[in-house]
Amino acid sequence: MTVQTRFAPSPTGKLHLGHALSALVAYDMASKNHGEFILRFEDIDHTRVRSHYYREIEEDLHWLGITWKQKPWSQLDRLKTYQKALDELRLQDLVYPCFCTRREIDDELAQMTQAPHGPDGSHYPGICRDLTESQINDLLKTRIPSWRLNSQKAAHLATKLTFTDLKHGKIEVNALLLGDVVLARKDIGCSYHLAVCLDDAAQGITHVTRGCDLLPATHLHRVLQQLLKLPEPIYLHHELVLDEDGQRLAKRHQSQAISTLRDQGMSQAEVRSMLSSYQSDLAPLMNL
Ligand code: GLU
């Protein structure tokens, strides 16, 4: 097996130290195992993408010493594939159209005494889950729906699923963990969750390395892999880089942007050494 890893940033902001760690983990895992590192732009959310970030991200990665052979994929070239997968799920009755606005969902949640919730907040309260065909047809005349996974139905099909995380061990999948997640947004026709599973499979990614904030999402991804008959990668969810107040870095942390650190005169080695404590914990896991 040739090890294939990827770093999949969204061109919606500058790379910060947290991204640099993710990129270096993926790059080191590929290099140490004579594999290939792939850069992929997760750019389906055109409302937030800015064209200059593609180039800036590539520049920052090169400056960190990261290289790749394949031309980076843009998800915008793959919309038909995402659509086809959604159609497949629709044929199996595993997704349903949702016409709710955010406001309607929040109002419904506010009225519930015990709103179901998971690690990413409240679950969708199921308002559109049991609409009849004629209700759906009526609504379709005036509104574009998003499409949600029917997690209960999916859970019946995806029993006894697990995933292997090199740091956290073998984990049993909870197909209900995130509830009825949106798999196709009404404005863009797909979602991160659907696209990432299809792209990882299409690019032959053997090891998915990313921050541990996405560990809950992996439960859903394993379900989607099962439903869409996609291969199962091995995972490594690494710790998140924190700022001096112990908060995780976000795109608003301009001070920790790689380009800012570089402009302040920091060398590549100095930036890398800021991440070395996170990386040294992972070093033993890198020899596959
Ligand atoms: N675009 C996602 C992010 O920036 C990548 C998630 C993943 O690696 O699966 O968080």
Query: How far does the centroid of ligand 1 lie from the alpha carbon of residue 9, in Å?
Result: 6
Q: Specify whether the CB–CB gap between 26 and 7 falls below 8 A.
A: yes
Tokens of 9: 């940033």
Amino acid identity, position 7: F
Indicate whether residue 196 lines ligand 1 (CB < 6 A): yes
Indicate whether residue 194 lines ligand 1 (CB < 6 A): no
Give the nearest ligand 1 atom to 19 CA.
4
Least-confidence region, from 35-39, 130-134, 222-226, 238-242? 238-242
- Integer CA distances (angstroms), 257 to 13, 57, 224, 253, in order: 9, 11, 33, 7
Give the nearest ligand 1 atom to 210 CA.
8
Contacts of 254 (CB under 8 A, 6+ apart): 14, 260
Indicate whether residue 175 lines ligand 1 (CB < 6 A): no
Domain CATH number, residue 229:
3.40.50.620
The half-sphere exposure of 226 on its side-chain side, counting CA atoms within 13 A, is 20
Query: How far does the centroid of ligand 1 lie from the alpha carbon of residue 200, in Å?
Result: 11
Ligand 1 pocket mutation pick from 54, 57, 210 by most atoms within 8 angstroms of CB: 210
Q: Specify whether the CB–CB gap between 198 and 231 falls below 8 A.
A: no
Query: How far does the centroid of ligand 1 lie from the alpha carbon of residue 136, in Å?
Result: 33
The yes-or-no verdict on residue 254 having pLDDT over 70 is: no
By alpha-carbon position, which residue is closest to atom 3 of ligand 1?
Answer: 9
Give the nearest ligand 1 atom to 209 CA.
8
The model's confidence at residue 251, banded by pLDDT at 50, 70 and 90, is: low
**What pLDDT was estimated at residue 40?**
98
Q: Specify whether the CB–CB gap between 287 and 32 falls below 8 A.
A: yes
Give the nearest ligand 1 atom to 10 CA.
1
Strands 73-74 and 36-41: parallel
Q: pLDDT of 59-75, one tens digit each?
A: 999 999 999 999 999 99
Element containing residue 29 per DSSP (H, E): helix 17-32
Domain containing residue 38? 4-286
Closest CA to 145 of 159, 124, 166: 124
More confident residue, 247 or 208: 208
Rounded Cα distance between 154 and 260, Å, is: 45
Indicate whether residue 9 lines ligand 1 (CB < 6 A): yes
Indicate whether residue 42 lines ligand 1 (CB < 6 A): yes
Domain count, the chain: 1
Give the nearest ligand 1 atom to 6 CA.
8
Query: How far does the centroid of ligand 1 lie from the alpha carbon of residue 265, in Å?
Result: 28
Interval 206-218 mean pLDDT:
97
Give the nearest ligand 1 atom to 42 CA.
1
The yes-or-no verdict on residue 252 having pLDDT over 70 is: no
| Secondary structure E strands in the chain | 4-7, 36-41, 73-74, 95-98, 117-118, 121-122, 146-149, 162-165, 169-172, 182-184, 207-211, 234-238
Q: Which residues pair with 37 in a beta bridge?
A: 5
Q: Specify whether the CB–CB gap between 257 and 208 falls below 8 A.
A: no
Interval 168-196 mean pLDDT:
96
Indicate whether residue 10 lines ligand 1 (CB < 6 A): yes
The yes-or-no verdict on residue 109 having pLDDT over 90 is: yes
Q: 237-270 burial, b if ≥16 CB within 10 A, otherwise e?
A: bbbebeeeeeeebebebeebbbbebbeeeeeeee
**What pLDDT was estimated at residue 224?**
98
